[in-house]
Amino acid sequence: MDALDILTDLENVLPFFQPIFSADEHQVIGYEVLGRYYNGSEYISLGPFFHDSNIPEEYRTEVDQVVLKKALDRFLEVDEHLLIFINRDADLLMKGADDPFLEVLHEYEELGLSLNRYVLEISEANYKGELDQLDHFLNYLKTLGIKIAIDKLGHESSHLDRIGQLSPNILKVDLRALRSNRASQGFQDILYSLSLLARKIGATLLFENIEMVYQLQFAWKNGGRYYQGFYLHKPAKDFVDRNILKDKLKEEFHRFIAFEKKRIETLHQITESFQIRMQDLVSKYKKQEKYEEFLGSLTKELDSIAFRLYICDEDGFQVSPNLFKGDNEWVSQVEYMNKNWSWRPYFLENIHKMRLEKKGILSDVYSDIEIGDNIRTFSYPLSAKHYLFIDLSYAFLYDNDGLL
């Protein structure tokens, strides 16, 4: 794509609009503005043009402004509640390009486009300037009512340490790496962590590049309020009916809800089954006073499902060795005696819950630090002061629907 061809033919530089859908209303809540160039036979994305650092900044800024103005002309004609998502390069924004950008927004504000309808999408991945100056400018935009979205999260170059400091309104998560249900557990865990972070800072999650139903389900399950991608609708020259996917999304979400309810019920049944089994086993071996002897008896009963057992007191100090299954043989790891695990997330909270309810707890899936497998832990109250922990093997989880 020749930059001069575009600059001398701005008439054929056009905005395309990709709709963004909401989980709560099942409607289009806004559009991302994307640049296209019509070469006489097809519409070509201007993405490579805008990201080419060899093209002078003033050229890219000029074309960006043309796309923006043509897009805002169109927004004057539609529902006043639709959000307007605008991409901007952080470097251009901070090298004097912010003045014409704001001038355009203020110009259209006088025509009826409120500033609180704008969402500025910005990625800091390749930003070369001073972060403090960028923060100052973005915070200024927020005081005007403009929402800030941090883009390209989930991408390998994401600056996650910056999110809490900036407190953006929207976190935009890229799901390109999640193109099948075989995506790494580590990647899924990172996205799950992003959902927790968004909740902590009061940000909305927007999942982009949704290309298949599995990605939509993942986004829904992980707290996504807004969705965007080819599976839902491709960018187009024109706006669409706000309710174009209302019935489809309602049907899809109904299936997601049914699946999640079934999964929760399965986990509840498995937890109850463990509870009954442990009550029987504890009653059977309660006369064994030494914890290592007691755990040794349990290994014979739990050999097919567990790979590690140990006992802690109410403060998280380990009062027994680990009994660990390695190479099909159980071994005693006395070096774990007196180690404290209260620093683990939810440890003391779960101890308190078990003490009150006098019932065991089945953990979420997590990656074991030592063996690297995805596991779950079943915790069980032996008394008001001592608690049994049973680490369930990946093989057992894999063989039982709903545990992974």
Name the token pair of 78: 């539609």
Q: Which domain holds residue 379?
A: 260-399
The residue from 200, 234, 268 where one domain ends is: 234
Amino acid at 30: G
Predicted local confidence at residue 183, as pLDDT: 59
Predicted local confidence at residue 157, as pLDDT: 43
- Are residues 269 and 180 both part of a single domain? no
How far is 71 from 73, CA to CA, in rounded Å?
A: 5
Instruction: Select the more confidently predicted residue: 322 or 131.
Output: 322
Q: Please, are residues 394 and 255 in contact by the beta-carbon 8 Å criterion? A: no
- Band of residue 227 on the pLDDT scale cut at 50, 70, 90: very high
Is the pLDDT confidence value at 161 over 70? no
Is 252 inside a domain boundary? no
- Band of residue 133 on the pLDDT scale cut at 50, 70, 90: confident
Is 331 inside a domain boundary? yes
Instruction: Select the more confidently predicted residue: 97 or 216.
Output: 216
Is 255 inside a domain boundary? no
How far is 346 from 324, CA to CA, in rounded Å?
A: 23
Mean pLDDT, the chain, rounded, equals: 91
Predicted local confidence at residue 97, as pLDDT: 46
Please name which of 146, 90, 94, 161 lies closest in space to residue 115, comparing C-alpha atoms: 146
Q: Token match 């557990």: residue?
A: 185
Parallel/antiparallel/unpaired status of strands 170-174 and 147-153: parallel
Please name which of 201, 204, 119 lies closest in space to residue 162, comparing C-alpha atoms: 201
Is the pLDDT confidence value at 181 over 70? no
- Are residues 51 and 191 both part of a single domain? yes
* CATH code of the domain covering residue 117: 3.20.20.450
Predicted local confidence at residue 101, as pLDDT: 87
- Are residues 73 and 168 both part of a single domain? yes
Q: Which of 120-134, 147-161, 196-210, 289-303 has the lowest mean pLDDT?
A: 147-161
Predicted local confidence at residue 16, as pLDDT: 98
* CATH code of the domain covering residue 284: 3.30.450.20
* β-sheet bridge partners, residue 147: 119
Average pLDDT over residues 179-193: 70
Predicted local confidence at residue 91, as pLDDT: 82
Is 348 inside a domain boundary? yes
Percent of the chain whose predicted confidence (pLDDT) is above 90: 69
Name the token pair of 59: 């050229």
- Are residues 20 and 74 both part of a single domain? yes
Residues 6+ apart with CB under 8 A from 35: 13, 14, 15, 16, 45, 46, 47, 49, 50, 63, 64, 67
Is 363 inside a domain boundary? yes
- Are residues 35 and 156 both part of a single domain? yes
Q: What is the pLDDT of residues 343-391, one digit of tens each?
A: 998 899 999 999 999 999 999 988 898 898 889 999 999 999 999 999 9
Read off φ and ψ for residue 254, nearest 5 degrees: -60, -40
Average pLDDT over residues 259-263: 92
- Are residues 164 and 20 both part of a single domain? yes
- Band of residue 286 on the pLDDT scale cut at 50, 70, 90: confident
Is 61 inside a domain boundary? yes
Is the pLDDT confidence value at 158 over 70? no
How far is 1 from 48, CA to CA, in rounded Å?
A: 8
Parallel/antiparallel/unpaired status of strands 83-89 and 28-38: parallel
Average pLDDT over residues 326-337: 93
- Are residues 299 and 221 both part of a single domain? no
Q: What is the pLDDT of residues 96-123, one digit of tens each?
A: 645 788 999 999 999 999 999 999 998 7
Count how many domains the chain has: 2
Predicted local confidence at residue 224, as pLDDT: 95
- Are residues 70 and 146 both part of a single domain? yes
- Are residues 92 and 227 both part of a single domain? yes
- Are residues 75 and 133 both part of a single domain? yes
Average pLDDT over residues 164-187: 79
Q: Please, are residues 211 and 183 in contact by the beta-carbon 8 Å criterion? A: no
Is the pLDDT confidence value at 291 over 70? yes
Q: What is the pLDDT of residues 5-57, one digit of tens each?
A: 899 999 999 999 999 999 999 999 999 999 999 999 999 999 999 988 899 88
How far is 137 from 295, CA to CA, in rounded Å?
A: 61
Is 176 inside a domain boundary? yes
Structure-derived torsion over alpha carbons of residues 104, 107, 111, 114, reported in degrees to the nearest 10 = 70
- Are residues 183 and 312 both part of a single domain? no
Is the pLDDT confidence value at 142 over 60? yes
- Are residues 190 and 323 both part of a single domain? no
Query: With helix as H, strand as E and coil as C, how does the chain read?
Result: CCHHHHHCCHHHEEEEEEEEEECCCCCEEEEEEEEEEECCCCEEECHHHHCCCCCCHHHHHHHHHHHHHHHHHHHCCCCCCCEEEEEEEHHHHHHHHHHHHHHHHHHHHCCCCCHHHEEEEEECCCCCCCHHHHHHHHHHHHHCCCEEEEEEECCCCCCHHHHHHHCCCEEEEECCCCCCCCCCHHHHHHHHHHHHHHHHHCCEEEEECCCCHHHHHHHHHCCEEEECCCCCCCCECCCCCCCCCHHHHHHHHHHHHHHHHHHHHHHHHHHHHHHHHHHHHHHHHCCCCCHHHHHHHHHHHHCCCEEEEEEEECCCEECCCEEEEECCEEEEEHHHCCCECCCCCCHHHHHHHHHHHCCCEECCCEECCCCCCEEEEEEEECCCCEEEEEEECHHHHHHCCCCC
Is the pLDDT confidence value at 155 over 70? no
- Band of residue 160 on the pLDDT scale cut at 50, 70, 90: low
Is 241 inside a domain boundary? no
